[in-house]
A and B are shown apart, each in its own frame.
Chain A
């Protein structure tokens, strides 16, 4: 029997998609109208020519990358240790990792200011470097739910306890096991977590604004107040950037060891027949 075309389903899907696509098209169209009477990329050029844009994006990128590095160093061994030695504590650790989603960033940053203010025992906010450190720590905390979940899921996908035992039976120390066996096998998960962290922290507003740091988030808000077309151009660029991160995440997550990044036209002889 010939199947009928699912008109209703397609219509519903298009209706749903329009909520997402129409504002995007409208924003993109608006961003092209900076020069009166013609469509062009003047708003984009204006953004790129702005020293503030370049400085803030560079600052946020560096802060985010440091946060990713620190997050990975803390979270990978923690997730590994919990799964290997204290699996019963995993729900507790998972709950702790989710706290940043429950506690608003504004509470977090006021806590920091109170704890590390100029009158405290460790006056981090008294210096620029100290405040930068606080911002990075804040990014690490904000990224915890995403990083922990990505890494923990990566570890669930491989049997880390058996792999650890296999490595140890071959003479490997615990450190060597982590660096040569565990870390490479959860690399895709770490990278996924890293992209998520990056996409969140690079445009983060609350922490950077309340700590008064020259980050990209506050710049975006400021630009939105001062200009008309550039914010639209930035929104489109941010959208493209986030999607780029998603594509990279997907590529890393689905790539198998020994697989090429670009598909070969012919298959490897080893992959053809499997006796």
Chain B
């Protein structure tokens, strides 16, 4: 039986249904991320787990106990907020000790636990500082320590890195993951940043319009997206119009070229038209034995992005884009130049729904 379970949760605000039948099972010690665009309902689901919003219907269980109607302060959850939400009237020690005092821990025990938490986040020297004396990254570390101090059953992270600058965001997300692994705490993380979700999650729930479009490992989400939305939202994608001669056949025509697919297509319409997708990294200007399909076209744009160079090319009616790793010796193609992009037919995947 899963540790955290959400069954057919629906949440309606007035006439607006924000969460439309959400199901999820999270194992103990698992790190699950809710990924999706703004307004997709990911924060609402998190708030329902925390108890701040009650589901209109459906139920939530934690460790086998139905908590759907339980008050937030009785759920034993730890929550980290986007805006840190440290108590301004308390210093770092006071903030971390807050939950422990409420739990009724003795003075010595509280002090020991606070010191343990401070050591965990590497801020032992700042216990007397007040929130206004800390940087954003430090405040969020303290918020994490405060949430973890009372040993919650589930840790909920509501876009905790959004307010931080890029460098701190990367280092803190790695820190969060390391601490989560060390403590083995079941964690739900909300983000709209796909890179963030990919890099630290055991599983990702891609949400769209109040539903979970796909739940899977980062690799499965990226490489085998189950819906057109997931494919488009996670990473960049080349969508190619294709035509199959007869349903369920493995042979399709893309831009006048016949391509043999690894699996028979399933989503072609009555006329045999369908959409296929290809990740930019599957394409290369360099031919190889594995890249059995070649598209000839004209380079439309070349964008230098630091470690990679993104090239957009017109192939007949289709526009494709792909990335090349940058190197000092690399000669990028020029705009207007004829070029050939090579890829393996096995990298093509079908877009359903």
**Which residues of chain A have a CB within 8 Å of any CB of chain B?**
158-159, 162-163, 165-173, 176, 180-181, 184-185, 187, 256-258, 270-271, 274-275
Known contacts A170-B150, A256-B130, A274-B133; A165/B81 CB under 8 A: yes
Closest 8 CB pairs of A and B: A170-B99, A166-B85, A169-B79, A184-B89, A171-B102, A168-B72, A162-B85, A168-B73
**Interface flag for B103 (CB, 8 Å):** yes
- Which of A165, A171, A176 gathers most chain B CB within 10 Å? A171
For the complex, give the distance between the alpha carbons of A10 and B149 in Å: 60
Which A residues lie within 8 Å of B91 (CB)?
Answer: 257-258
Q: Are A165 and B99 in contact (CB under 8 A)?
A: no
Which A residues lie within 8 Å of B81 (CB)?
Answer: 162, 165-166
Closest CB in chain A relative to B261 CB, distance in Å: 50
- Chain B contact-residue range equals 35 or more
Which A residues lie within 8 Å of B135 (CB)?
Answer: 274-275
Known contacts A170-B98, A176-B102, A181-B89; A165/B50 CB under 8 A: yes
Which B residues lie within 8 Å of A181 (CB)?
Answer: 87, 89
Q: Are B99 and A256 in contact (CB under 8 A)?
A: no
Which A residues lie within 8 Å of B126 (CB)?
Answer: 270
Which B residues lie within 8 Å of A185 (CB)?
Answer: 87-89
B85 touches which one: A165, A176, A257, A258 (CB < 8 A)? A165
- Which of A159, A166, A169 gathers most chain B CB within 10 Å? A169
For the complex, give the distance between the alpha carbons of A18 and B348 in Å: 84
B98 touches which one: A162, A165, A167 (CB < 8 A)? A167
Closest CB in chain A relative to B75 CB, distance in Å: 8
**Which residues of chain B have a CB within 8 Å of any CB of chain A?**
50-52, 71-79, 81, 83, 85-91, 98-99, 102-103, 126, 128-130, 132-135, 146-147, 150, 156
* Chain A, Cβ-Cβ closest to B72: A168
Known contacts A166-B79, A270-B133, A275-B135; A257/B88 CB under 8 A: yes
Residues of A contacting B: mostly: helix
For the complex, give the distance between the alpha carbons of A163 and B79 in Å: 11
Given contacts A170-B98, A171-B150, 20 further A-B contacts (CB under 8 A): A159-B83, A162-B83, A163-B87, A165-B52, A165-B72, A167-B98, A168-B52, A168-B72, A169-B77, A169-B79, A169-B147, A170-B102, A170-B150, A171-B74, A185-B87, A185-B89, A187-B89, A257-B132, A270-B133, A274-B134
Which B residues lie within 8 Å of A170 (CB)?
Answer: 73, 78, 98-99, 102, 146-147, 150
Q: Can you spell out 21 A-B residue pairs with CB atoms less than 8 angstroms apart?
A: A163-B87, A167-B98, A169-B77, A169-B78, A169-B79, A169-B156, A170-B73, A170-B98, A171-B74, A171-B76, A171-B103, A172-B98, A184-B89, A185-B87, A185-B89, A256-B130, A256-B132, A257-B130, A257-B132, A258-B130, A270-B126
* Chain A, Cβ-Cβ closest to B86: A166
Q: Are A171 and B73 in contact (CB under 8 A)?
A: yes
Q: Are B73 and A172 in contact (CB under 8 A)?
A: yes
Closest CB in chain A relative to B48 CB, distance in Å: 13
For the complex, give the distance between the alpha carbons of A185 and B95 in Å: 13
For the complex, give the distance between the alpha carbons of A169 and B98 in Å: 11
Which A residues lie within 8 Å of B83 (CB)?
Answer: 159, 162
For the complex, give the distance between the alpha carbons of A158 and B133 in Å: 16
Closest CB in chain B relative to A78 CB, distance in Å: 21
